[in-house]
Amino acid sequence: MLTLLSICFIAALSAPLVHRLCPKYTGALLVGAPLAMFVWLLKRIPEVAHGHPVTESFQWVEKLDLELAFRLDGLSLLFALLISGIGSLIILYTQGYFKGDPQQGRFMMYIIAFMASMLGVVLADHLLLVFIFWELTSFTSYLLIGFNHENPAARTAALQAMLVTVLGGLFLMAGIILLAGAAGTWRLSEIIQRGDVLLAHKNYLPILILVCIGAFTKSAQFPFHFWLPNAMQAPTPASAYLHSSTMVKAGVYLLARLHPALGNSEEWTLILTTIGTITFLLGAIMALGQHVLKRLLAYTTVSALGAMIMLLGIGTAYTIKAVATFILAHAFYKAALFLIAGGITHETGGETSVDKLGGLRKAMPVSFACAMLAGLSMGGFPPFFGFVAKETWLQAVEAYPLLIVATVIGGAAYVLVGFAVGFKPFLGKMPEGLHAHEIPLSMRFGPAALGLGCFVLAFFTGKIGHDLVQPAATAIAAKEVEVHLHLWAGFNKAFVTSLITLATGIGIYFARSFLLAAAARLRVLVKFGPDAAYQFLLDGTLKFAAWHTRVLQTGILRDYIRVTVLTMVVLVGVALVRAGGFQRWENLSPISIRIAMVAVLMISATFATVHSKSRLRSILSMGVVGFCMAILFTFFGAPDLAMTQLVIETLTVILLALAFYHLPAFSHGSKKRTRATDIIIASSVGITITLLVLAALHVHTPTPVSDFYLDHSYKDAHGRNVVNVILVDFRALDTLGEITVLAIAALGAYALMKLKPKKGEGGE
C-alpha cells in the first residue's frame, strides 16, 4: 500500500514535468498511478470480503510512537475503490477539459496529490497519520478551489473552505489526542475494539463533540455547510472529484470508522441524527431555488452528506447497510452529473444556468445519454442503482415516521435536480445564440463509465451487496452484517414510499418556476445565515488585527521600547511577587572599596548621560558605564565577559558616532511629562532587574549545572575554557541559532538602511 501511495505522490510531483514533456498525453501517462492502485484494490476484494484485512506497517518516528500503519478492510476498500476509480476517470477528463491550457500540469499535480492524500485518509490505521492526510486534503482542496487565482471570488471561496475545514481540523486534532489518550493506543484497529472503555470514559463527550466538529466541517454539515456551494468556484473536474464524491465524504468516513468506538450511545444518536437530518433537508430545500448547474448539484451533495450522517447516527444494522449502499450510489451519479455539467459549460462557451440551456440533445447525444442515466439514478427511478440505495434507505428508516417524511421531501428534491441537470439542458428548444459541440473523447470516459455504472450496477446487486457493501457495513458495525441487495424487493412499504417520492418529485419539477420565484423572495434570509456569520467573524478578526497593530506598532522606536520593557517588568514582577523571592537579602558578600568606587563612577556616568546637552557627550558617558561593567567582570573572574564587553562598548560608541551623520540636530524636545514617565519606566526596569538578580542568588538547585560543565569540559570536550566549550560544544546548537538570528538581523538592518523607497512610493 505504501509503495502504491508513494507512486501516486510521485506522480503528483512529476505532473508539471510530464505535462511539459508531452502535453498531449499527460492524462494518459499519469492515469497509470491511480489505475495501478485501483487494480491492486480490485484484486484484494475476495480477501477482504472474507474478513481478512490487509495490513502493512513501517516504523516512522519511534519516539512519538508514530508508524506508517495501513489497513485495508471493507470500509477502506469501498472508499479506496471509489477514490482511485473515479480518480482515474477524472484525470482522463482533465486532459480534455484543460486541453491546450498551459496550467494543466499544475492542475494535475494538485488533483493527484489530493487523490493520494485522500487514499491515505481511508487507508491509514494510525490516528496521527489519518490526521496528516486529512489536513493534506484540506490543503489540496484549497489549491484546487483557488485554481483560477486571478478570480477574486475563487480566492475568497478557497480561503473560506480552507478556514472552515482547517478550523474543524484543529478540533479534530484535539479530539484525536483525547481519543488516543482514553483508548491508550493510536491504532484505529485497536481503538474500535475498545468501545466499551471509551463509552465509560470521563472524556467521552468531549471526544465525541470534537471529532464531530471535525467531521461536520469537512463534510459540510449544518451550520458549516456554506463553504461547499461556494467551493464550486473550483474547475469542474475538482468539483466532481473533491466536492461531491470523495473529500467531503472524509467526515462520513471518519464517523463510520469510529462508529464501533464512539457509537452506541444516546449522545451519538442525538448529535448525528439531528445535525444530519437538518443538513439533509436544508440542502434539499436550498437546491430547489438554484438555477446554476453546479450549485444545484452542490446543494444536493450537502443534502446527501447530511443523509449519510443521519443514517450513521441511527446506527442500526439496517441504516449502516443503507449508508454503505448510498455512498456507492451517490458517488456514481453525482460525479457523472458534475462531469456532464462541466462538459456542457465547457462546450457551450461558459453557460452555467440551467434555465438558459435547452435542446442540446442533437449536439451532445453522448452527454445526453450519460446525463439521463445518472439523472434517473439520482432521482431513484427503477431500474437504477440509485433506486436500490433509496429502497435500502427507506427500509432502514421504516420505524421512524419523521424520517420517512424527511426522506420523501429530500427524495423529491433529488428527482427535481436529477431532471434539471439530466434532462432540462438537452430537451426542448435550443435558445437562440447557443452553440454547442459534443465533448471530446477523453472527456467521455468519465461520464460514460459512471453513467453506465448507475445502470449496470443495479443488475449485479447481489454481487455488489456481498463483495463491497457487506464488508463495508461489517466494518462500520464491527459485527457481522448480512447484506442482500435486491433490485426488486417486492411490493412493500418502502416501494410505495418510493413511488410517492417520485410522484412528488415530478410534481415539483413542473412547479419549478414557482419555486424559483419563491426562492428569490427568500434570498433576504441569507443575511442571517452562517455564511454571513462567517463573513462577520472574518471581518471582525481582520479589524481586530488592524486595530491592535495600530496600537502596538506605532512605528516610533520609543513606543516599542516602552511596550517591550513594561511587558518584561510586569511579567518578571508578577513572577517575583508570587515566588516571594526578595525576602531574604542576607548572605550578600561585603562590598569592597574598589567595587564601591567603580559603582560610584557608573552612577555618575549615568547621570551625565541623561543630563548632557550634547549627544556625543551622552554616548561617551554611556561608554564609561560599559567600561566600568567590564572592570566589574574582571573583579569577579570573568575575563571572557570583560573582554567581550570592552570590544562591544568600543563598537557601540563607533556605531552611534556613525549614526550621528544621519540624525537631526540634538534638542531637548521632550516635554516634562514625557520625561517624568520615562523616569518612572526606567527606574521600574532597574528595580525589577536588581530584585531579580537578588532573588536569583537564592535559587539553589541540588547540583548546579555548572558543576557538570566544569567536570566534563576537559574530559569530554578537550577544552579548558568552560565558557567557550559551552558555546561551541555543549550548547553549539543554541549558538548556531543565535548566529543565524544575528545574520538575519544584519540583513534586516542593511535593508532598512540601504533600500529606501523611491520618491512617491510612500514611507519616509
Partner 1 sequence: MTSIILRTSTRYMFPPLIVFSVYLLLRGHHFPGGGFVGGLFAGSAFALYALSFSVADARRALRLDPRDITAVGLAIALLSGIPPLFSNHAFLTGTWWEVPLPLGGVLDVGTPLIFDIGVYFVVLGVLLTVVFALGEEK
By CB under 8 A, residue 749 contacts partner 1:
yes
Q: What's the min distance (Å) between Cβ of 605 and partner 1?
A: 22
User: For residue 531, what are the CA distances in angstroms to 138, 223, 277?
Assistant: 19, 9, 20
Binding to partner 1 by CB under 8 A, coded x per residue (else -) over 343-382, reads ----------------------------------------
Closer to partner 1 by CB, 663 or 696: give it: 663
Amino acid present at 94: T
Closer to partner 1 by CB, 50 or 715: give it: 715
> Before 34, cis peptide (omega within 30)?
no
CB 352 within 8 A of CB 294: yes
CB 119 within 8 A of CB 80: yes
Binding window for partner 1 (CB under 8 A); candidates: 161-169, 475-483, 494-502, 749-757: 749-757
Query: CB-hemisphere CA count at 13 Å for 288?
Result: 26
The string of DSSP letters for 558-580 reads: HHHHHHHHHHHHHHHHHHHHHHT
Spatial CB neighbours of 551, under 8 Å, sequence gap ≥ 6: none
Binding window for partner 1 (CB under 8 A); candidates: 249-257, 453-461, 641-649, 701-709: 641-649
Single residue of 64, 557, 593, 658 touching partner 1 by CB under 8 A: 658
Q: What's the min distance (Å) between Cβ of 184 and partner 1?
A: 31
Q: What's the min distance (Å) between Cβ of 759 and partner 1?
A: 16
Q: How many other β-carbons are positioned within 10 Å of the β-carbon of residue 276?
A: 28
| Cα 647-650-653 angle, rounded to 5 deg | 150
By CB under 8 A, residue 736 contacts partner 1:
yes
Q: What's the min distance (Å) between Cβ of 649 and partner 1?
A: 10
Single residue of 51, 102, 365, 639 touching partner 1 by CB under 8 A: 639
By CB under 8 A, residue 613 contacts partner 1:
no
Q: What's the min distance (Å) between Cβ of 754 and partner 1?
A: 6
CB 78 within 8 A of CB 467: no
How many helices and strands in the chain, by DSSP H and E? Answer: 33, 2
Closer to partner 1 by CB, 203 or 735: give it: 735
* Residue 353 DSSP SS3: strand
CB 431 within 8 A of CB 520: no
Single residue of 520, 654, 682, 710 touching partner 1 by CB under 8 A: 654
> Before 223, cis peptide (omega within 30)?
yes
Closer to partner 1 by CB, 551 or 643: give it: 643
Q: What's the min distance (Å) between Cβ of 648 and partner 1?
A: 7
Binding window for partner 1 (CB under 8 A); candidates: 259-267, 423-431, 639-647, 668-676: 639-647
Q: What's the min distance (Å) between Cβ of 142 and partner 1?
A: 33
Residue that has been written with the C-alpha cell 472524556 in this structure? 203
Closer to partner 1 by CB, 523 or 754: give it: 754
Q: How many other β-carbons are positioned within 10 Å of the β-carbon of residue 373?
A: 27
Binding window for partner 1 (CB under 8 A); candidates: 49-57, 433-441, 523-531, 653-661: 653-661
CB 313 within 8 A of CB 269: yes
Cell of 342: 462541466
Angle between helices 365-379 and 317-347 (to 10 degrees): 150
Strand partners, 72: 54
Residue that has been written with the C-alpha cell 454539515 in this structure? 221
Spatial CB neighbours of 757, under 8 Å, sequence gap ≥ 6: 763
Closer to partner 1 by CB, 59 or 604: give it: 59
Cell of 179: 481519543
Binding window for partner 1 (CB under 8 A); candidates: 102-110, 171-179, 204-212, 637-645: 637-645
Q: What's the min distance (Å) between Cβ of 662 and partner 1?
A: 6
- Rg of the chain (C-alpha set): 35
Closer to partner 1 by CB, 545 or 654: give it: 654
What is the C-alpha separation between 249 and 327, in angstroms, rounded?
8
What is the C-alpha separation between 460 and 563, in angstroms, rounded?
73
CB 590 within 8 A of CB 707: no
What is the C-alpha separation between 1 and 5, in angstroms, rounded?
6
Single residue of 196, 640, 707, 711 touching partner 1 by CB under 8 A: 640
End-to-end CA distance of the chain: 59
DSSP conformational letter for 187: B
Q: What's the min distance (Å) between Cβ of 132 and partner 1?
A: 25
Single residue of 156, 185, 644, 684 touching partner 1 by CB under 8 A: 644
Q: What's the min distance (Å) between Cβ of 669 and partner 1?
A: 23
Q: What's the min distance (Å) between Cβ of 572 and partner 1?
A: 27
DSSP conformational letter for 263: -
Closer to partner 1 by CB, 496 or 743: give it: 743
- Binding footprint of partner 1, residue count (CB under 8 A): 41
Q: What's the min distance (Å) between Cβ of 645 and partner 1?
A: 10
Binding window for partner 1 (CB under 8 A); candidates: 161-169, 454-462, 511-519, 655-663: 655-663
Closer to partner 1 by CB, 402 or 648: give it: 648
Closer to partner 1 by CB, 696 or 733: give it: 733
Cell of 666: 540634538
Q: For the chain, what's the residue count?
A: 764
Q: What is the dihedral of CA 24, 26, 27, 33, to 10 degrees?
A: 150
By CB under 8 A, residue 616 contacts partner 1:
no
Element containing residue 2 per DSSP (H, E):
helix 2-21
Q: What's the min distance (Å) between Cβ of 706 and partner 1?
A: 17
By CB under 8 A, residue 753 contacts partner 1:
yes
Binding to partner 1 by CB under 8 A, coded x per residue (else -) over 424-453, reads ------------------------------
Strand partners, 56: 70
| Cα 134-139-143 angle, rounded to 5 deg | 145
Closer to partner 1 by CB, 66 or 723: give it: 723
User: For residue 736, what are the CA distances in angstroms to 22, 126, 740?
Assistant: 46, 35, 6
DSSP conformational letter for 156: H
Residues 674 to 733 in contact with partner 1, rule: CB under 8 A? 716-721, 723-725, 727-729, 732-733
Closer to partner 1 by CB, 673 or 715: give it: 715
Closer to partner 1 by CB, 487 or 717: give it: 717
By CB under 8 A, residue 647 contacts partner 1:
yes
Residue that has been written with the C-alpha cell 428548444 in this structure? 429
Residue that has been written with the C-alpha cell 437562440 in this structure? 432
Amino acid present at 56: E
Binding window for partner 1 (CB under 8 A); candidates: 270-278, 311-319, 550-558, 659-667: 659-667
Q: What's the min distance (Å) between Cβ of 747 and partner 1?
A: 7
Q: What is the dihedral of CA 712, 714, 717, 720, to 10 degrees?
A: 120
Q: What's the min distance (Å) between Cβ of 266 and partner 1?
A: 52
Single residue of 651, 682, 687, 689 touching partner 1 by CB under 8 A: 651
By CB under 8 A, residue 507 contacts partner 1:
no
By CB under 8 A, residue 662 contacts partner 1:
yes
Closer to partner 1 by CB, 460 or 750: give it: 750
CB 430 within 8 A of CB 348: no
By CB under 8 A, residue 63 contacts partner 1:
no
Residues at the site binding partner 1, with contacts judged by CB under 8 A: 639-640, 643-644, 647-648, 650-651, 654-655, 658-659, 661-662, 716-721, 723-725, 727-729, 732-733, 735-736, 739-740, 742-743, 745-747, 749-750, 753-754
